[in-house]
Amino acid sequence: MKTSNAILLAVGLILILFSCSTTRKIDRIRRGDVRAELNLGQDTSFLPEIRNRKVTRDTLKIKDDDGTEVLIMKAIRMEETGEMVANEVLDAAMVTARFRNMAERHGKVDLVFQVVVPASMQDSKWQLRFYPDMYILEDSIRLEPVIITGSAYRKAQLKGYQQYERFLSKIVQDTLRFVDINQLEIFLRRNIPQIYAFKTDSSEVSDEQFESIYGVSEQEAVEHYTNKFARYRNNRRKARQESMYRKYVKDPIVTEGIRLDTVMTGGDGSFIYNYVQTINTRPRLRKVDIVLSGEIYEIGKKIYDVPRSEPLTFYISSLATLADNKERYIFKIVERQAEANTMSYVEFRTGKSDVDVDFGNNRKELGRVRNNIAGLLDNKEFDLDSIIVTASASPEGKVASNNALSHRRSESISRYLNTFIREHEDSVIHEQGIMYDENGRRVTAHRPHISFISRSIGENWDLLDRMVDADSLLTEGEKSLYALHAELTDPDERERAMQADRTYPYLRQVLYPRLRAVRFDFFLHRKDMVKDTVHTTVLDSTYMWGLKALANMDYHTAVKALGSYKDYNTAVALLALDRNLSALEILQGLENTPEVNYLLALVYSRLGDDTKAVEHYVRSCRQNRSFVYRGNLDPEISVLIKTYGLNQEDDNEEL
């Protein structure tokens, strides 16, 4: 074979080898030899105040329930000697569990996980995009992606931007550039020299047309000396900006809406990114799944879809589950009797006592009273017992005749209303129709017996005194004159004296009619109630509403609703809002149930008092074993467990 042929063959083989390298990489990824995954990192509690606590591995001395003192320290039982020996436990290097318990605080949970991308998946010509998907209840949300860009890929992206920049730089923004200023100026100086006379003149000159001797204006000269082709070309470029951007920058560099975009240069190790996502919790949220999927891009085109990784599960616990959801009742006292009243101004003809519906304003007034009574009769809760009708009269005329007249008038109204009530009841019965009870017997409607009591006051001087006193139209002098007349004991004499006053017409026309009033007092009782008072228990709706808000993690509403009760649930709500001292005050007054002890442990842990915290936690566990497991869910307790190795004792005991 000729040497030239051999060289060609060799070169060809080498080229083929190099071009295959990326496809080989893809094949390896496809086969699954190389994959990106999600991991839970080392567990440090997400609550910063707990993370920053100084870990002092002191021994603690706590008092047990029955008063005995106990020492707590991390210890194991030596097999050979059987005695307890203090020891330290090294933290594990990497947690390989696929689930973790997270506690919700203040309505939020921090989900912390790691995205691990091995070195063999990275390539300088590639861009890797990873999308963590979050599955909450029925929703799935795509979280912000993590992007790893190879340096060659980034260079190609930037090259597109550079080309676009170069194009942009060719666009001239200053339109004067197209005008041959030199020639234009010479031309103007030569042919339209008047313009230059105005150059330094700052007076207000309207847009005068300066012209040369042959009628050529300045604008025409400017237009002539403009390079029209260049201007046209520039405008074309400006119009094409958008399409040129799309042409040059095929793969724009995204800066918004992504969590991270990093350029890997050397990249001889795996890439690990600690992803923290804070989410707002909602009711019924117990578990969140996170799954990683991704894509590999080369030169702006997708070449591979990374299949979904195994899910990572976060179990969410909340303080609200510690609430006591028993129903609460409150006492209510229900009275049998009730009262109502109304006033009406029924008008009578002078000296007459019969009720004339068409006289004066009677139709309206009586209609109103009838409506009131009908309303009370039809009331479902109450029954009408009796009605007291009180009539009063105005002072003109003789006292004796006035008294008798008002008495007659009150009787007349009572009769009128009695008739009305009877008619009303009859019509109700008529509407209801015929009713049969369960035995087939005809039921006669019960017609209530309403007693009418009529009273009369006669001349209502008291009311008149009060009205004059309160009247805003009478002067002080007139009022004192009236008071002077009031010293006369005989009402008739008094009236005669008042007739001489200047204000008498006003009294007669405006105030007297108000004295001719009839007052109705209605006495009612609750239907079907026999005893005078009844004590019942009713569901305390405020309290239940507060509990519901607590379960929904609406802590502010819960505290508002439960605040006044100052009991265990109030403490739970206050703790959810981090109002530790208020909660402590309440809890210290409560009986030491295991729940109360657990909450006290939580509060003391938050306040930094480890001794008391451990004391209460141990007591609560001793009273109720389930709190051993609950302790792992709350970071305030779990940090204590870890620091002092609390639950190991129980574990060892079980063994």
Partner 1 sequence: MRRIRCYLIVCLLLFVGKNAFAQRIAISTNALDYLSLGTINVEGGLSVAQHWSLWAGARINPWTWNLKDVETRNQQRTVWMGARWWPWYVYSGWWVGIKTEYLNYSNTGIWRPALQEGSGVGLGINAGYTRMLSPHWNVEFSLGALGGYLFKYGLYSSPARHYTRSEEPHAFLYPDNPSIAILYVF
Question: Least CB distance from residue 176 to partner 1, whole Å?
Answer: 19
Closer of 193 and 375 to partner 1 (Cβ): 193
Which of 32/215 has CB closer to partner 1?
215
The answer to the question of residue 229 lying near partner 1 (CB under 8 A) is no
Q: What are the two backbone dihedrals, phi and then psi, of residue 106, each rounded to the nearest 5 degrees? A: 55, 30
- Pick between residue 212 and residue 313 the one whose CB is nearest to partner 1: 212
364: number of CA atoms within 13 Å, CB side?
Answer: 3
**Residues 528 and 513: beta-carbon distance below 8 Å:** no
* Residue choice 100, 154, 224, 548 for contact with partner 1 (CB under 8 A): 224
Which is closer to partner 1, CB of 43 or CB of 180? 180
Radius of gyration of the chain (CA): 49
* Amino acid making up residue 195: I
φ/ψ region of 505 (left if φ > 0, alpha if ψ in -120 to 50, else beta) reads alpha
Site map 182..211 versus partner 1, x via CB under 8 A: -x--xx-xxx-x------------------
Alpha-carbon torsion (279, 280, 281, 282), positive or negative:
negative
Q: How far apart are CA 329 and CA 351, in angstroms?
A: 61
Residue 294 and residue 128 in contact, taking contact as beta carbons nearer than 8 Å: yes
For the bound state, the minimum distance from the C-beta of residue 202 to partner 1, rounded and expressed in Å, comes to 24
Cα distance between residue 373 and residue 47, in whole Å: 68
Region from 170-178, 214-222, 394-402, 615-623 binding partner 1, contact rule CB under 8 A: 214-222
Phi, psi of 185 (to 5 degrees): -65, -40
Angle among Cα 324, 325, 331 to the nearest 5 degrees reads 105
d(Cα 479, Cα 485) in Å, to the nearest integer?
Answer: 10
Among 69, 174, 205, 214, interactor with partner 1 by CB under 8 A? 214
User: Which of 216, 263, 468, 529 is close enough to bind partner 1 by CB under 8 A?
Assistant: 216
In the complex with partner 1, which residue's Cβ is closer, 196 or 629?
196
Q: Shortest approach of partner 1 to residue 185 CB, angstroms?
A: 9
Q: What's the closest the beta carbon of residue 220 comes to partner 1, in angstroms?
A: 9
Identify the residue among 1, 16, 197, 213 touching partner 1 (CB under 8 A): 213
DSSP E strands in 257-300: the ranges are 260-264, 271-280, 287-298
- Residue 215 interacting with partner 1 (CB under 8 A): yes
Between 178 and 555, CB nearer to partner 1: 178
Q: Applying CB under 8 A, does 257 fall inside the site for partner 1?
A: no
Q: Which residues of 10-23 are buried (b: 16+ CB within 10 A; e: fewer)?
A: eeeeeeeeeeeeee
Give the nearer residue to partner 1 in terms of CB position, either 223 or 465. Answer: 223
**Shortest reach from residue 224's CB to partner 1, in Å:** 6
The size of the interface with partner 1 (CB under 8 A), counted in residues, is 13
Question: Residue 214 or 436: which CB sits closer to partner 1?
Answer: 214
Which residues sit at the interface with partner 1, rule CB under 8 A? Answer: 183, 186-187, 189-191, 193, 212-216, 224
